[in-house]
Amino acid sequence: MNRIEEFFKKKQNKILNVYYTAGFPGLEDTLNVMKALEESGVDMIELGMPYSDPLADGPVIQHSNTIALQNGMTIKKLFAQLQNFRKHVSFPVLLMGYMNPILQYGFEKFCADASAVGIDGLILPDLPEYEFENEYGAIIKKYGLDFVFLVTPETSDERVKRLDKLSGGFLYAVSSSSTTGKDKNMNDVAIYLQKLKNLELKNPVLVGFGIKDKQTFQTACDNANGALIGTAFIKALESDANVERATKNFLNEIIP
């Protein structure tokens, strides 16, 4: 069992996963933000590796990617920052990003380096199921990393079950087929999540896209194991130069 599986054995409900773009707002802010997130009660983190064309993300997270890249953040730099992060942070950490920069880095080297520093899993929205099964999945498994697939309201029940079987850690339920940061009709989201619950999936389900405050987080938790918050947190970091204070103030409004 890795850290994510051990976590879900201890806690099954009201799980809060926060997305944060590494190297934003300052290049050296990464570890400080991670520590502040854990100290504020966050259960796990989706650590974004900045990329010039983050297709699944809305303008706020795209902007944070641009700033981080301008700051000089790279995969190599990120792994250097994470070298000893497990001395300070104990919660599960997943890397979220896109295939192009990882392939340039070297896919197996990337997985080996991620595992070596203490990363628990990967979220790569543009890694197709076929390539995962026939090429990359075995490498990911070799280094003890979980891989999280995304499903949407348009994903067929058969495909949801298939992606659930391939996923490790949890299944990422995108609340609608749009980019991050857009408001969602939470009644529609609740119906969608109830449908997923009825499929009796093997993995816990966390819902993302449009979760931004205490109310939307609670609605997600009423119908799934928890939720992911990204855009709203990045906005909070933009509004206060002190990243520790911004993190704690934002999460005080989310976590009861």
Alpha-carbon Rg for the chain, nearest whole angstrom, is 17
Please name the residue that has the structure tokens 């001395």: 87
Q: Is the dihedral of CA 154, 159, 160, 166 positive or negative?
A: negative
Amino acid, single-letter form, for residue 240: D
Rounded Cα distance, 231 and 182, in Å: 9
- Identified catalytic residue from 29, 43, 46, 120: 46
Q: Is the dihedral of CA 34, 37, 43, 48 positive or negative?
A: negative
What are the structure tokens assigned to 230, written together?
């990204």
Half-sphere exposure of 85 (CA within 13 A, CB side): 29
**46 has catalytic annotation:** yes
Phi/psi of residue 227, nearest 5 degrees: -145, 165
**53 has catalytic annotation:** no
Rounded Cα distance, 63 and 234, in Å: 10
Which residues have C-beta within 8 Å of that of residue 121, sequence separation ≥ 6? 2, 4, 92, 94, 95, 145, 146, 147, 148, 168, 169
Rounded Cα distance, 116 and 190, in Å: 38
Provide the total of helices (H) and of strands (E) in the chain, helices listed first.
Answer: 13, 9
- Identified catalytic residue from 29, 57, 120, 164: 57
Question: In 10 A of CB 139, how many CB atoms?
Answer: 15
The residues annotated as belonging to the active site are: 46, 57
